Each structure stands twice: as structure tokens, then as C-alpha cells.
């Protein structure tokens, strides 16, 4: 008998509950928190680089494609991303940004010069997807555009012209050109990254040198009427404290709105040799991936503490604008395209990482998963005209309830998930209260075999009902394919009950659960 896919997901959750070892009990308290402290919706941002099939063959349909499209923008992708309320989209890179010259990507398509994409496979870039196309995509998505300016190989004048082209409404040559190219009104783009990975592919600069370069560029990054700029500093690689310290010490606070951080999760923890498999892995790489993912909390805490020294009022946002799981590419694919599959393990990483960001929302006010389509930990994969939603997509679907909601601190002590001689916390969580007073709690159980029982007190919260959804599957390395797109899918969750004034939850192994209390 073949069950519907949503029933299969529910059955997997039920099986996990019934077959897991004796559940461990956790005492949890949802605290009142500060009504002024919100989880910024921009934590749930995404990233679209000219890399592999993210743009071409992803957002930008092939000329012979029969996929639904407006112009050449794929509308099935747009509708899927609108459903999870993507708040901002970062473009054109990544490393590509510091070789990209925006003026080559405007005007009549046939007249745009071609270029080599030197970073990602030496492919020929025809510039058919440029500034206007990207901003039309953002308009269709209803999302904030986040542009990365070329500091590595560009000029101050080039960046300044781009800002004038997009944001001014005076009769300057730049504005007249924009109007001639079909957009009479200013685009009003506020979010600007001044360089990308300036410590690496953006120029291999020292922190001291970059901060001088940044101040020069920021000086010519002007506000235009109705468009105050959010100037964003190219920040640290991983736990590089010196980079953050130098930026915070050398750059005046009024010259920066945000400071970035790039932190990836590698299953093996190594950039040399194999990074680890995207599929077919055992519990050893499952455990090491989650262990490495949890380092995000310490990395964010380290940078936040440095920022606090120079910015006690937390005016400068920390933006983790590249994060996610980075594995070896799928066998037989172009190594420069960074195409990888996406398993239940990746969903657990996504839920865990977003919980970490939520719990640091006093400083982390933006983030971008790398990347949206067909690259690294993508939420969407395509194959010609077909499209599928990955397990990571479903986590963003679950967690959208936290966007711009009041942060509620949680207090609990997690049991251990042990493997070999190592152990990590099995449970992580975050909570918020939305504008209508509903409380949402997101829970991740990393233990692949043991259920967790939670007894949760909610002092000050008045509620009558609890509902929820769960993401889990039969195996830690399950993933969705174009033949079986719903192997890892959301299901209704019935493991939460009201007992007196407390919330009782039985959390399945290897699962992400989001509860709603009303």
C-alpha cells in the first residue's frame, strides 16, 4: 500500500517516537524577555551569486526552458521563496562581486559585453542577468536587495556611479541612462556591502589596509533623498578576532551600519582535501557536521564581545551573510559549480544555526544562507524545468514565524548526544512572541536515536492550545530527489500537550519541531 507523502512523513515521526530509546526529560522555562528586543526578519535572508546554476539555469531560465517565467525569471522559484517570506537577497557575490563591473550588465542585452567568470569554473558570463533583472527579481519576491560593491578590482567612482544610477532622480548622465534603460523612478537600494571577503578573494588585504580602503569608499557612498544607505563592512573569516577588532577600532561607527561574518560548516572541518559527503555519510560525519555547526555560537559570541567594546549601544549590526554546510560536490558535476545535495542533516544544521542567530538577536540582525538555488546548502534545486524543495527549505518555512517577533529567552540544560569519546548538546531551541501574542518555540533534537521529553514552564504566558509541525525522516542521510521530492517533508506534530499550566513535549530523534501556543 502506497501512503501519501505527507502521511509518510507523519509515519516517520511516529516511528521515531515509538522506536527511540527511553526519552530523557528536560526542564525548560520560557522567560518574558525584553519587549523591545526583536528577532530581525533579516536573519532569514538568502544569497544569489553568479556561481554554477544559481543564476543561469536557476533564477534565470534557459532560453529554451518551459518552466513558468516572467521575462526569463523563473516564477516557480519566486513563488516558493515568497512562501517563506525571504526578507533580503544578496547579489552578485561572493567572490564574483569583486570581478563584476555593473555597467556591463545594463542596457540592451545584445550589446552587453561578455566576461569570464574566473572564480567559478572559467565559464562565459553573458551579463544577460544584471542590475535591472536582479531588482525585478527582488520586486517579484517582495524582498530587500542587498548589493555587494566591487572593491577588489573596481573603483570608488564605479561604486558611486552605481549608487547614483539606482538612487538619484536628478537629470544626471547616470539617471538619464537608467531612465533610457526602462526604469524612470529611482530603485532606492539601501543595503550596500563595501567589498566581500577582503581578507581573501576580495583582495587578500590586511585588516589595517582594508579599513583605510573602506573609509575611502564609504566617504563616497552618498545618501540620496528617501534612501539612507546601510553601509556594510566586509568582516571576518570565521573566528578571526583581529579583523573584527581592527574594523571596530579604525572605522567610525557613523560610517557603518553593519559588519559581516562568514562561517561555514564543513563535515570534516577541513578546507584541504575532502570536505565530506553530502549524501551516503555515516554517523561519524553526521556527528562531526553537527559538532562543527555548533561552533557558530562561540564564533558569534566572540565577535559580539569585541563589537560591544566599541559599540556598547549595539548600533552596528552583525551580519552573518554567508553561512551553511559546504560539502564535496555531487559526483560527475563541475567542481567549480559547488552543486551538492541536501539531506535531513542539513535541515538540522539550518534549524540549529537559526536558533543560534535568534538567541543572539541583540547583535545579529541579518544573515544570508549560501546559497538560494543549486549551490551549497540551497533551499531549491532545479533540473531543467523541474524544481524541488530541499529539507533546508522546510526549516525556513517552519521558522518564518520568528521574523520580527519579540525574542523570548529560554532556560534549560540539554542532555548530551555522545558519539565515540565526544559529546555535544542534543537539544537547541529559540522562542518568540508575535504581534498577535502567539508564542512560537523552535526545537531541534540532534540525537539520531533518542527522543527527548520536555516539561516547559511559561510564566506570564496565557495560552489554551498548542499546535506544531515536525521535520524528520527515517534516516539521518535521507534527501529529496526529482523522482522522490517528498522523502523529507513537513508533517503535523502531535507530540505536544497542555498539562496544567505547563507544556509537555516529546521530541522525536533527529527532528526539527516548531510549536505555536495560543
Closest-CA residue to 347 (of 267, 263, 446, 276): 446
pLDDT in tens, 445-484: 999 999 999 999 999 899 999 999 999 999 999 999 999 9
Encode pLDDT of 279-289 as tens digits: 999 999 999 99
Our answer to whether residue 197 is catalytic in this structure is yes
pLDDT at 374: 98
Q: 3-state secondary structure string, 233-270? A: EEEEECCCHHHHHHHHHHCCHHHCCEEEEEEEECCCCC
The answer on pLDDT for 509 being more than 80 is: yes
Q: pLDDT of 384-398, one tens digit each?
A: 999 999 999 999 999
pLDDT score for 6: 43
pLDDT of residue 10: 42
pLDDT in tens, 45-61: 999 999 999 999 999 99
**Pick from 237, 236, 241: nearest CA to 258:** 236
Task: Check 185, 322, 330, 422 and give the catalytic one.
Answer: 322
The predicted-structure confidence for 331-371, as pLDDT tens digits, reads as follows: 999 999 999 999 999 999 999 999 999 999 999 999 999 99
Structural domains in the chain, sorted by start: 5-35+409-517 (2.60.40.1180), 41-248+321-339+364-402 (3.20.20.80)
283 given a catalytic annotation: no
Tell me the pTM. 0.94
Closest CA to 488 of 87, 153, 47, 16: 16
Strand-strand pairing, 450-457 and 73-74: unpaired
pLDDT score of 178 more than 50: yes
Averaged pLDDT of the chain: 95
DSSP string computed for 125-173: E---S-HHHHHHHHHHHT-EEEEEE--SSS-HHHHHHHHHHHH--SS-H
Closest CA to 411 of 388, 431, 395, 393: 431
What are 77-99's pLDDT values in tens digits?
999 999 999 999 999 999 999 99
Print burial letters for 165-176: b (CB count within 10 Å at least 16), e (below 16). bbbbbeeeebbe
| 405 vs 362: CA distance, rounded Å | 13
Quick one: CA dihedral 56, 60, 65, 68, positive or negative? positive
Q: Report the C-alpha gap between 301 and 316 in whole angstroms.
A: 15
The grid coordinates of residue 453 equal 521529553
Residue 23, helix vs strand vs coil: strand
- Closest CA relative to residue 154, chosen from 121, 196, 185, 116: 196
Residues 18 and 71: their CA atoms lie apart, in Å, by: 50
Lowest average pLDDT, out of 7-21, 75-89, 269-283, 288-302, goes to 7-21
| pLDDT at 29 exceeding the cut of 80 | yes
Percent of the chain with pLDDT over 90: 95
At residue 32, does pLDDT exceed 50?
yes
| 90 vs 79: CA distance, rounded Å | 18
> 209-225 pLDDT, tens per residue?
999 999 999 999 999 99
Paired with 511 in beta bridges are 445
pLDDT, position 17:
45
Which one of 133, 136, 197, 283 is the catalytic residue?
Answer: 197
Span 402-419, average pLDDT = 97
* Least-confidence region, from 9-18, 471-480, 491-500: 9-18
21 pLDDT more than 90: no
Binning the chain into helix, strand and coil, the percentages to the nearest 5 are 30, 30, 40
- Average pLDDT (409-435) is 97
**CB contact at 8 A, 195 and 234:** yes
pLDDT at residue 13 tops 80 = no
Can you tell me the mean pLDDT for 430-441?
97
C-alpha cell at 291: 559538532
> Is the per-residue pLDDT at 307 higher than 70?
yes
Strand-pair partners of 46? 89, 369
Contacts of 4 (CB under 8 A, 6+ apart): none
pLDDT band at residue 14 under the 50/70/90 scheme: very low
Cell of 298: 562561540
Strand-strand pairing, 317-325 and 364-369? parallel
Q: What is the mean pLDDT of residues 190-203?
A: 98
Amino acid at each position: 500500500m502506497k501512503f501519501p507523502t505527507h502521511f509518510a512523513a507523519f509515519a516517520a515521526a511516529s516511528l521515531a517516537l515509538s522506536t527511540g530509546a527511553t526519552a530523557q526529560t528536560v526542564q525548560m522555562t520560557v522567560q518574558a524577555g525584553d519587549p523591545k528586543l526583536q528577532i530581525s526578519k533579516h536573519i532569514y535572508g538568502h544569497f544569489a551569486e553568479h556561481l554554477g546554476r544559481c543564476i543561469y539555469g536557476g533564477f534565470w531560465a534557459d532560453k529554451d526552458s518551459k518552466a513558468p517565467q516572467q521575462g526569463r525569471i523563473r516564477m516557480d522559484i519566486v513563488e516558493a521563496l515568497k512562501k517563506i517570506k525571504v526578507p533580503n537577497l544578496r547579489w552578485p557575490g561572493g567572490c564574483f562581486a569583486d570581478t563584476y563591473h555593473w555597467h556591463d550588465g545594463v542596457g540592451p542585452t545584445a550589446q552587453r559585453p561578455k566576461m569570464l567568470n574566473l572564480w567559478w569554473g572559467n565559464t562565459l558570463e553573458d551579463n544577460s542577468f544584471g542590475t535591472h533583472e536582479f531588482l525585478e527579481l527582488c520586486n517579484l519576491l517582495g524582498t530587500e536587495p542587498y548589493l555587494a560593491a566591487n572593491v577588489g578590482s573596481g573603483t570608488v567612482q564605479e561604486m558611486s556611479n552605481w549608487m547614483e544610477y539606482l538612487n538619484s532622480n536628478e537629470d544626471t548622465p547616470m539617471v538619464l541612462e537608467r531612465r533610457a534603460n526602462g526604469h524612470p523612478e529611482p530603485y532606492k537600494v539601501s543595503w550596500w556591502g563595501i567589498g566581500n571577503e577582503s581578507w581573501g578573494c576580495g583582495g587578500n588585504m590586511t585588516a589595517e589596509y582594508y579599513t583605510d580602503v573602506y573609509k575611502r569608499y564609504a566617504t563616497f557612498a552618498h545618501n540620496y533623498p528617501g534612501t539612507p544607505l546601510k553601509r556594510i563592512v566586509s568582516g571576518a573569516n570565521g573566528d578571526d578576532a583581529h579583523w573584527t577588532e581592527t574594523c571596530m577600532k579604525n572605522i567610525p561607527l557613523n560610517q557603518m551600519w553593519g559588519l559581516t561574518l562568514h562561517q561555514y560548516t564543513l563535515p570534516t572541518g577541513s578546507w584541504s582535501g575532502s570536505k565530506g559527503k553530502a549524501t551516503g555519510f555515516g554517523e561519524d560525519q553526521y556527528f562531526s557536521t553537527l559538532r562543527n555547526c555548533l561552533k557558530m555560537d562561540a564564533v558569534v559570541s566572540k565577535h559580539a564581545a569585541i563589537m560591544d567594546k566599541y559599540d556598547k549601544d549595539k548600533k552596528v549590526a552583525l551580519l552573518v551573510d554567508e553561512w551553511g554546510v559546504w560539502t564535496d560536490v555531487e559526483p560527475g558535476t563541475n567542481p567549480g559549480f559547488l552543486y551538492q545535495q541536501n539531506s535531513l542533516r542539513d535541515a538540522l544544521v539550518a534549524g540549529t544555526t537559526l536558533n543560534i542567530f535568534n538567541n543572539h538577536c541583540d547583535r545579529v540582525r541579518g544573515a544570508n544562507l549560501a546559497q538560494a538555488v543549486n549551490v551549497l546548502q540551497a533551499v531549491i534545486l532545479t533540473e531543467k524545468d523541474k524544481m524541488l524543495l530541499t529539507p533546508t527549505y522546510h526549516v525556513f518555512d517552519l521558522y518564518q514565524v520568528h521574523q520580527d517577533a519579540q525574542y523570548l529567552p529560554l532556560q534549560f540544560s540539554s542532555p548530551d548526544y555522545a558519539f565515540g569519546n565526544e559529546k555535544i548538546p542534543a537539544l537547541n531551541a529559540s522562542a518568540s512572541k508575535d504581534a498577535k501574542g502567539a508564542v512560537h518555540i523552535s526545537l531541534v533534537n540532534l540525537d539520531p536515536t533518542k527522543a527527548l521529553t520536555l516539561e516547559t514552564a511559561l510564566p506570564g504566558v496565557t495560552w489554551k492550545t498548542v499546535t506544531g509541525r515536525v521535520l524528520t525522516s527515517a534516516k539521518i542521510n535521507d534527501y529529496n530527489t526529482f523522482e522522490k521530492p517528498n522523502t523529507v517533508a513537513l508533517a503535523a506534530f502531535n507530540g505536544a500537550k497542555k498539562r496544567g499550566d505547563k507544556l509537555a513535549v516529546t521530541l522525536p530523534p533527529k527532528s526539527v519541531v516548531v510549536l505555536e501556543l495560543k
